Amino acid sequence: MKNTVRNHNIVFLGTSLPRECGIATFTQDLLDELIHLPGFNPPRIIAINNNETYAYDQQVIRQIDQHNYADYIDTADFLNNSDTDLLVIQHEFGIYGGESGEYLLPFVERLNIPYVVVFHTVLTKPSPKQHQIIRCLAERSVQVVTMAESTLTDLSTIYEIPVSKITFIHHGVPQVSTASRSSLKAQYGYPDRKILSTFGFLSPGKGIEYSIEAMRGVVKRHPEAFYIVWGKTHPVVKLESGEVYRQKLTDLVEMFDLQDNVQFVDKLLTQEEVIESLVMSDIYVTPYLGKDQAVSGTLAYGVGYGRVIVSTPYRYAQEMLAEGRGLLADFHDSASLEACILRLLNSPALVQTMEDRTLKLGLTMRWNEIAKIYAALFHSHIQSSASADRSVI
């Protein structure tokens, strides 16, 4: 009898576009690459909803109300009775229901199909509930994925996950063709400026106020320096406190008389706009305040396009900017940021060296390469599960 090899069916659990969420973008970027790789039917999504309604496209086959416990149980039964070969759980504590997202636990306990869990956050000091959730999700999974090498030890020692079950895969970065830096500067109206930039959802933890204060000293030496802050206020922040943080930042710009050197672009950027903002930047800045931040999608994008980066030394930045790929400034310290920025603006040769080093790593992080690693992982566990299900006569 001739054996036929069928394509595999992968389902992703997490947020989905058009919801404004970094995990939704991450999932979509991975799906867009997987459809071009052999061995898979078009991947599908089970979308986790908050209190809003979204116009999903046909790749979303089911929705879960974040706070509805019964939806999780019903969805587990749905998957068990479907043709799904493997489920991929995108994990972030805040997107699932219950304390720290604990509604995921009865969901995975009820599942009869294999799943891989991708941890977007790995805490070094979890609460008892957070510790329980990570351990249980990992224990029942066939594989755990983390996007920072620094978290491999944490997952093993803090959460007691077997090392053999943990895989490190870089955060993916989209492949977008753009014009050159000089052409983009001219296109956006900044032909003679040295561009510094930050992009992403605006929230108090981003530390943008320290970058703005640093610009006071920078422009005295380099009046051509121009800092652009790209992005909308984070939807959750806007819901809870409106535009208080953005207003605080704009007030600082006026107080320091930096209107000609700092600009805010208050919009949700398209993927092309994000990459163009990076390509035309001379320095990318992430002055974040959370020292334990293990992964940053925005920093990954900066590395992916070979930008010279000035950052505070949160965990992911220390890892990604090692080996001369950028400069680290102190937390809550505008003078330290200023010194790093001036060092780069005063040394074009150093900038070129850092760009070359960063791009060398960044090219390995493009989604077309990262998706191949995920595809191999998915195939191996589907095949292993199929072999385990075969009875021996």
Would the pLDDT of 88 be above 90? yes
Q: In CATH, what number is assigned to the domain containing residue 150? A: 3.40.50.2000
Per-residue 3-state assignment (H helix, E strand, C coil) for 101-124: HCCHHHHHHHCCCCEEEEECCCCC
Q: Does a structural domain hold residue 3?
A: no
Residues 53 and 121 grouped into a single domain: yes
Q: Pick from 69, 160, 153, 144: which is nearest to 110 by CA? A: 69
Give the count of domains, the chain: 2
What are the residues whose beta carbons fall under 8 Å from the beta carbon of 311, sequence distance 6 or more? 285, 286, 287, 288, 299, 317, 321, 326, 327, 328, 329
Question: What does residue 185 show for φ and ψ, rounded to 5 degrees?
Answer: -60, -45
- Indicate the range of 87-91, 267-271, 318-322 predicted with least confidence: 267-271
**What is the average pLDDT score of the chain?**
95
pLDDT at 390: 41
Q: Please state the rounded mean pLDDT for residues 336-347.
A: 98
How far is Cα 223 from Cα 231, in angstroms, rounded to an integer? 24
Residues 224 and 150 grouped into a single domain: no
Would the pLDDT of 391 be above 90? no
pLDDT at 214: 98
pLDDT tens for 162-205 read 999 999 999 999 999 999 999 999 999 999 999 999 999 999 99
Would the pLDDT of 83 be above 50? yes
Q: Does a structural domain hold residue 83?
A: yes
Residues 377 and 320 grouped into a single domain: no
Q: Does a structural domain hold residue 223?
A: yes
Instruction: Find residue 145's DSSP bridge partners.
Output: 118, 167
pLDDT at 236: 87
Q: Pick from 5, 7, 26: which is nearest to 16 by CA? A: 26
Would the pLDDT of 393 be above 80? no
Residues 142 and 198 grouped into a single domain: no
Q: Does a structural domain hold residue 284?
A: yes
Strand bridging mode 10-14 / 283-286: unpaired
pLDDT tens for 249-266 read 999 999 999 999 999 999
pLDDT at 31: 97
Q: Please state the rounded mean pLDDT for residues 7-26.
A: 96
pLDDT at 130: 98
pLDDT at 223: 98
Residues 119 and 29 grouped into a single domain: yes
Give 2's pLDDT tier (boundaries 50, 70, 90): very low
Residues 163 and 191 grouped into a single domain: no
Residues 131 and 275 grouped into a single domain: no
pLDDT at 6: 84
How far is Cα 249 from Cα 240, in angstroms, rounded to an integer? 18
Would the pLDDT of 3 be above 60? no
Give 385's pLDDT tier (boundaries 50, 70, 90): low
Residues 381 and 278 grouped into a single domain: no
- 126: cis peptide before it, omega within 30°? no
Distances (CA, A) of 40 to 15, 36, 154: 21, 9, 33
Q: Does a structural domain hold residue 5?
A: no
Residues 77 and 151 grouped into a single domain: yes
DSSP percent split of the chain into helix, strand, coil, nearest 5: 45, 15, 35
Would the pLDDT of 144 be above 80? yes
pLDDT tens for 205-238 read 999 999 999 999 999 999 999 999 999 999 989 9
Q: Show the domain range for 320.
A: 181-365
Q: Is 50 helix (H, G, I), strand (E, B) or coil?
A: coil
Residues 163 and 29 grouped into a single domain: yes
Helical (H) or strand (E) element with 24? helix 22-34
Q: Please state the rounded mean pLDDT for residues 135-160.
A: 97
Q: Pick from 272, 89, 258, 109: which is nearest to 178 by CA? A: 272
Residues 189 and 242 grouped into a single domain: yes
pLDDT tens for 269-286 read 999 999 999 999 999 999
> pTM here?
0.92
Q: Does a structural domain hold residue 99?
A: yes
pLDDT at 386: 60
Would the pLDDT of 392 be above 50? no
pLDDT at 383: 81
61: DSSP letter: E
What are the residues whose beta carbons fall under 8 Å from the beta carbon of 88, sequence distance 6 or more? 10, 11, 12, 13, 115, 116, 117, 118, 378
pLDDT at 1: 41
Instruction: Compute CA 271 distance to the chain's CA centroid, rounded to the nearest angstrom.
Output: 13
Would the pLDDT of 143 be above 70? yes
Residues 337 and 376 grouped into a single domain: no
How far is Cα 123 from Cα 159, in angstroms, rounded to an integer? 10
Radius of gyration of the chain (CA): 22
